[in-house]
Each structure stands twice: as structure tokens, then as C-alpha cells.
Amino acid sequence: MTGLGGLNPSEGALVLGLVQQQVPVVNEPPDVKATAEKIAGMVRAAKAGLPTLDLLVFPEYSLNGLNPKVWARDEMLCDIDGPEVEILRGACADSAVWGCFSVMERNRNGAPYNSGIIVDDTGEVVLYYRKMHPMVPLEPWEPGDIGIPVCDGPAGSKLALLICHDGMLPEMAREAAYKGANVILRTAGYTDPIRHAWQITNQVNAFTNLAYTASVALTGADATGIWSIGEAMICDVDGAVLEHGDNSPDRIVTGEVIPARADQARRTWGVENNIYQLGHRGYVAVRGGAKDNPYTYMTDLAAGRYRVPWEDEVEITDGTSAGYGPPREAGSTTETHRSSAPRQTTGG
């Protein structure tokens, strides 16, 4: 039940609009501003058309496009306090609606960041996130360095944002939920080869964390003729799909979630309350459950010695196979070596 796509919101509902935005053509700096204006127009039109909307979610690359030949050009990048973001913030304030937006962010000390923001209904940026796991070797972005933030949202929601490939690593959604997120947004630019993995990870991230997931990708063809998937999805806390879009360009898939239901499940479920039970193993046998950490990968990662058994046999460990220059040394703040961009990408 999703209130007829948000037309008839239930008590305590958060009404979402997931925008399957057509891949924008962005080749020169004026194109970025024009795309920001288009997105702002979509915000205003959507809210006018469905006044019950609380939050509109736009895909990864919806502002800067999917053309890898211009991704890292400084004049094509944006600043979080820059004019393009100001346009998006203004649209939210004008329409009294929340928005989630994608920004390829300028970084003076290295490769650009693939960032996302959540803007409230007064136009304030209330969540700012840098993609933790760029889709290597196809993406040149600096790995995020500010963790996974959570913010208060409408209707009692606590929101987190994952960007595309982030959602393929279960630790990312788990971290968001561990910090209290009951609605996890995921934005993407994925193309057809990733469709199945996209669907199942959106469902798994919901079920294993007793969180709603709301996910959307770009759609339509880019300059290469390769289509992005669209595939807007809203998943219930048990992983069931509540709403599922298609690949229609610029279609807005709407539906409701009730954040209090996720909160209740986390407090009242016994069987499959997995995010609680991870840290309270076997509480039937052991009072309060075993709380030691049995996971070698966790302790090794925390100690800086993460190493898979096949580490020395991994063949692709930088971006040179995709047409990028060699990476900077770890810990360096010098500019990365930038070369010609890869010929195509799955937009992860």
C-alpha cells in the first residue's frame, strides 16, 4: 500500500518522488547551468502537480551528465555553495518541497568528488555527502572522506544517501542504518548490465537493515547510445517492492513510506531483527548476546591491514585500463594525474 502513489497519504507518510531523469547532454559550462534550470523547473512542476510530495530524488549525474570526456574539466565542475546549487535550493524553497541532488564537486587538492546533497523545504542544505566508493576503474572521483551522514527529514524520517556503487557494498547501508537512518536514498547512473544487481541490492539493503530504500537512476541514451536504466524503486522494510518504475525518461515514480513502521519493526521484531542481532549474537543462550567481534575483515580494515587472500592476483587495481593516468600516492594532497577519459561507462 503506497497511498495510490502518494495521492492519498496515510497518517505519518513520507511521500517520495523518484525522478527517472533523461540523461542530460552536458558538454560545455553553459550546459551545466541550463541543466540546473531544467531540474529546478521539474521540482516546481512536480510539486504543483502533486501537492502531497514531500521529497523529490534526482539521480546521480543528473546535473553534470554522463559524458566522461568532460567529467574532470575544472570549468565543468560545481561547488556546493556555487550558482548551480543555488538554483536547486531556490526551487525547493519556492515550492516548499525537499530535494535530493547530485553534484560533481570541485576539489582543489585532488580529483573531484562525486557528491550529493539533501535540501529541505526552506532551501537549506541539511545533508552533504561525498561518494565513498566510486565505481572503479571507470570513475575518476576522489573517494569520499566525510563518512555517511544522516539527517532528520519529513514525517519523522531519518534520511541517508548512498550514491550508486555505494549500495553494492552491504556495509554502506548498514552504516547508514546504524546511525539511525530509516529511509535510505540511493541515486545512480547505471546502465543495463547492472539492472539485476540494482534490484536485488535495493531489496537486500532494506531487509537486512529494517529500513525503507528509495532508489532511482538516470534513464535514456547518452551520446554513445547506451541507455541508463531508470528503474525507480521503493522497497519496504521486509524487502518487498512497493513501487517499481521502468526506463521512461523524465517519469516521476511516486509512492509513500511510513518511517514510524521502520522504527517500530526495529523495536518490536524478534526474528530477523538483523541489525540489532549483529551485535547481540545468540541472546537466547547468552544474556544480552555475545558482543565480541568475530569478523576478521572488520578488525583488519580498522587496523589498516585489509587484505583478501587473492590480493596479489588482482589484475585491475587502478584506472589505466579505462584510460586514466596513474593515481596519486595515498595520503598525498597533490593534484591527480588526469588523462583522456574512458570511452564509455556504466555510470556507477
Domains parsed from the chain with CATH numbers: 3-272 (3.60.110.10), 279-314 (no CATH)
Q: What is the pLDDT of residue 135?
A: 96
> Who contacts 87 (Cβ-Cβ below 8 Å, separation ≥6)?
33, 36, 37, 39, 40
Average pLDDT, the chain: 93
Q: Which residues are catalytic?
A: 60, 131, 164
pLDDT tens track for 275-306: 999 999 999 999 999 999 999 999 999 999 99
Distance CA 328, CA 249 (A): 38
C-alpha cell belonging to residue 279? 551485535
Residues forming beta bridges with residue 212, ordered by sequence position? 183
Q: What is the pLDDT of residue 176?
A: 98
What stretches of the chain adopt beta strand conformation (E)? 14-20, 55-57, 98-105, 113-119, 125-130, 150-152, 158-163, 183-188, 212-217, 219-221, 227-229, 233-235, 241-244, 251-257
pLDDT tens track for 95-144: 999 999 999 999 998 999 999 999 999 999 999 999 999 999 999 999 99
Give the pTM.
0.94
Q: What is the pLDDT of residue 330?
A: 78
Q: Is residue 337 over pLDDT 50?
A: no
Q: What is the pLDDT of residue 334?
A: 36
φ/ψ (deg, to 5) at 164: 50, -105
C-alpha cell belonging to residue 216? 532511482
- Coil/strand/helix, residue 92: helix
Contact yes or no for 116/161 (Cβ under 8 A):
yes
